[in-house]
Structure 1
Amino acid sequence: MARRFRGESVHKVDAKGRVSIPAAFRRVLEEGDPDWEEGQNPNLVLVYGGKARNFIEGYTMTSMEEVDDKIAALPRGSKRRRALEHMFSGQSVQMSVDETGRLVLSPKLRSKIGISNEATFVATGDTFQIWEPSAYEEHAAALEDWMDEEDEDFDPLILLDMETAEG
């Protein structure tokens, strides 16, 4: 079973857009890049598409290949396929982690989500997200509020057993 992204942390972003990736995330990226070898830098894909998204999503090469395969299985020319191709191919960038464990976020990527001098990295299992810290705090608070609406003895693990998921 492949490693998964875990945890969250805030990292400084320098004037050139360089930001350190959490060390544990780098191990997942290495494992998820079939071309990676010891001493090399792993590749990944950052998806910034979707105007409603206020985060950038990072994919290992293997995870991105799974998404690409699912998109390719859709009928050519269908609206669904075109929309997904636009977001996951057109509004994404493939890059490598640099030799010091950093990513370079272009001005376009930083302005898309409002990052200036810090970025919050958040694990989401087989992907990770990069947020502007205050936007992430607001998002996390909304999730907590949703959880607080449940009964006092609510166990979040019950969500795993639900057949249909609510948005």
Structure 2
Amino acid sequence: MSLFLGTHQNRLDVKGRVSVPAIFRAALRKEHIKENNSLIFRPSHKMSCIEGWPLSVFSELTNSLSTLDLFSEEHDDIATTLYAEAWPLDLDREGRILLPDILKEHANLTDAVTFMGLGAIFQIWEPTAATERCKTARQKVQQKNLSITPQTHKKRIET
């Protein structure tokens, strides 16, 4: 799977268009988007940013809804959160997307935006908020002494 890496700043034009960073477009071409240029954009339900999802990754996430009763309150709440404000957007020939007003308002975007790679997805932030988010995340990781161990480096215990 291709990864979205790095932090990149771009300008939001007066029409609400922004260029997706070239490194992100390359990752999309490599793995996720073959014939079309669709991405799913949605407001984060945790932070004041926009999440960008390749359709294949978004589909994997939403497949887990099938484990819930279709008519349950939990299903309805999660489906509403995932789908009601989700926008499928296509990249134009210049690699730009046109962000709907509801998404720009959610992330407080005006003239500059920051794209942050998060591996399988990416986020779009107001630049000052993005800087603060990175700082806060780094502090939390240090305070909680968080780390991960790659699967290939785990020792097998045989009994």
TM-score (norm: length of structure 1): 0.80
Structure 1 CA distance, aligned partners of 2:120 and 2:27? 9
Q: In 2, are the aligned partners of 1:7 and 1:123 still within 8 Å (CA)? A: yes
Separation in 1, partners of 2:142, 2:78: 34
Match of 1:141 in 2: 135
Give the whole-Å Cα distance in 2 for the aligned partners of 1:18 and 1:55. Answer: 16
Kindly indicate whether residue 38 of structure 2 is the aligned counterpart of residue 43 of structure 1.
yes
Give the Cα separation in 2 of the matches to 1:145 and 1:65: 32
Task: Tell me what 1:165 maps to.
Answer: none
Match of 1:104 among 95, 98, 112: 98
Find the residue that maps to 1:91 and give its secondary structure.
coil
Deviation for aligned residue 1:123: 0.6
Name the Cα RMSD after superposition. 1.8
Q: CA deviation at 1:106?
A: 1.7
Identity of aligned residues (%): 26
TM alignment of 1:1-167, pairs within 5 A = 2-30=1-29, 31-33=31-33, 36-37=34-35, 41-48=36-43, 50=45, 52-149=46-143, 159-161=147-149
Structure 2 gap segments, 5+ residues each:
150-159
Q: Which runs of 5+ in 1 are unaligned?
A: 162-167
Instruction: Please report the TM-score for the alignment, with normalisation by the length of structure 2.
Output: 0.84
The total of aligned residue pairs comes to 148
Write out per-residue CA displacement over residues 77-126 of structure 1, whole angstroms, 9 at most, x where no aligned residue. Answer: 22332122112111110011111001111222111110000110001111
| 1:21-56 deviation line (CA, Å, top 9, x unaligned) | 0112112223213xx33xxx5111001152x42111
